[in-house]
Structure 1
């Protein structure tokens, strides 16, 4: 498959993942298990941005493979550190989103990196940049969620 096809497959997988998280009450799980002070509005906005970024990376995948791989890295980081690892740490407590993370994110994320390797676009520098960008994308909304409760960032009168 081409980067373009892998990219759009990733966007579709993310959409299904969001549906699983929403339907199985990811918000309350996130509050209880990973102590994330998240509201449904945070969930909606963050996931809308993830889908927009997915469309951007899909459109630019052939000219900027690092963006394509950053989205794949985001998927792998999400699956590993926000679904599989918390289930292991909690002794098997179900994580809403883990089914699509394991069944879609892992194969598509790994397949994307494999495709880049096959096409000769996966150097150590590109892999590092992609993983760094994916990690930053995953961390940014979490940092904002934690920052907004600090006095300096409160917008109340």
Structure 2
């Protein structure tokens, strides 16, 4: 069948459905790739000094211990959950890419723009979080819209939780 103006939209729609399919090879592995991307992101943050940057630039009273606890007991289990469940429970699995995108915007893009200083982790956020998280959001928008609408605000809350704990630490921590 020749490509005509009338067939172009359905042709494009078919291509988009294949590209953003939960059953495609990428669709089946995307959450594991998100976990790998987060691991690489943490390496960039650690090697390039995110903790001292966050103390000086963001005014967060964060230690490397806080950083490792948050990533080890927050992000890693979330990634294992997302990878294991995949698209069978999209509201749960979408929390990982949601957290990635919130992290990218809130801890890297906006601080870099507002201060003019490089935020350690910005490179991996742009190169890994943006395409993987973006793919997940587009795919969820096409196939699991309700799950996306639930997962995104919960992702914001998950990223806010350690920040709130850090801010409350001087007031509530024992010793």
TM-score by length of 2: 0.81
Q: Which structure has the bigger radius of gyration?
A: 2
Q: CA deviation at 1:48?
A: 0.5
| 1-structure distance, mates of 2:29, 2:65 | 31
Give the SS at the match of 1:155. Answer: coil
Shift of 1:88: 0.5
| More divergent stretch after superposition (53-62 vs 42-51) | 53-62
- Relative CO higher for 1 or 2, CA cutoff 8 Å, sep ≥ 6? 1
Residue 129 of structure 1 pairs with residue 141 of structure 2: no
Match for residue 85 of structure 2 among 35, 60, 76: 60
User: 1:102 Cα deviation (Å)?
Assistant: 0.4
| Structural RMSD (CA) | 1.3
- Asked whether the 8 Å contact 1:4–1:59 carries over to 2, the reply is no
Q: Is the 8 A contact 1:75 1:109 kept in 2?
A: yes
TM-score, length of structure 1 as denominator length:
0.90
The Cα of 1:78 is off from its aligned counterpart by 0.6
Residue aligning to 1:146 = 167
Which segments of 5 or more consecutive residues in structure 1 lack a partner in the other structure? none
Using the alignment, how far apart are the partners of 2:133 and 2:122 within structure 1? Answer: 15
Structure 2: segments with no counterpart, 5+ residues: 1-24
**Any conservation in 1 of the 2:99–2:155 contact (CA below 8 Å)?**
yes
Q: CA deviation at 1:3?
A: 4.1
Cα distance in 2, alignment partners of residues 80 and 99 from structure 1: 12
Residue aligning to 1:108: 132
- Paired residue for 2:118? 94
Distance 1:51 1:35 in 2: 25
Per the TM alignment, residue 155 of structure 1 is displaced from its structure 2 partner at its CA by: 1.4
- Aligned residue pairs, count: 150
